[in-house]
Amino acid sequence: LSVALGTFGFVASHVLAALQILQLTNDPLGVGMTTMDAVGADPMKCTNFDAGAMVRDVAIFVIWGLQHSGMARPIVKEWIGTLGSVEERGVYACGAIAAWGLLLFAWQPVQTCTAWHVRRTPVYRILAGLAMVAWGLTTSLGIMYLLPDHVYGVKGDYNDPSREKKLIYRWPYNMIRHPASGGWLFIAWGFAVLSMSLNHALWATGWTAYILLGTILEEQGLRAEFGPAYDHYSRQVPAFCPSLGYIAGQRPVQPTKRELASFSR
């Protein structure tokens, strides 16, 4: 079951990622996907700000946050019966897929009078926006492909009690502490730069608010789990953007066993 859940999450996340790109680009293929802007809206009935849509969009971001951060808390894992089980990662991944699907299909444009199209976008914004999106995809997809068991639990033994839990110092965790969140920030604001659309900006703002709040909770849990070893790691590795030192070739130094022992004294 754990392998099936993890594999489903891995495959479904690729499907939703493709649909997310269609949504952000206002469905240029015409497959019927929900769009970030109101494509083809009646100019006589459009609005520059739909308060009802705003409330709905905020609500679905709250639901996403409750799932994504709530299901990561030990007390919630214990309540649903996955704490320490081999199904823990897979169940979490499936919950995230459901919440992401809600974000995709329940979204409503707040501003409905204009819709972004890439053909009307200046070249400098295309270059800047695509660079941000490409970087975001590199880090967020990198963790999916290089560490699928860490993200989805596809091997089924991620939470084996005999498995040693330790901080990851390989790429992309040697570059930024939160590669998925950092990547998603670049993707969200990259599309905001591309479109200069109120709807894209609100979507990016929603993601930013969730990621910042979620990161605070996540780091509290990591410090509780790893103690001073995480402080040692976080002093060397920034949260979302690579440091100038990393760009210059510096890499974080993993503490020795003696250093780890000294941390716990």
Average pLDDT over residues 145-151: 71
pLDDT at 60: 95
Average pLDDT over residues 191-203: 96
Model confidence at 227, in pLDDT bands (50, 70, 90)?
Answer: confident
181 within 8 A of 214, measured Cβ to Cβ: yes
Is the pLDDT reported for residue 63 higher than 80? yes
Model confidence at 156, in pLDDT bands (50, 70, 90)?
Answer: low
Q: What is the C-alpha to C-alpha distance for residues 256 and 17, in angstroms, rounded to an integer?
A: 39
Sign of CA dihedral 244, 245, 249, 254: negative
pLDDT at 83: 76
Q: Which residues of 158-181 are buried (b: 16+ CB within 10 A; e: fewer)?
A: bbeeeeeeebeeeebbbbbbbbbb
pLDDT at 207: 96
Please tell me the least confidently modeled range out of 64-73, 142-151, 237-246. 142-151
Q: How far is CA 134 from CA 50, 158, 180, 186, 247, in A?
A: 31, 30, 13, 8, 17
Average pLDDT over residues 42-47: 84
Q: What is the value of pTM for the model shown? A: 0.89
DSSP letter assigned to residue 252: P
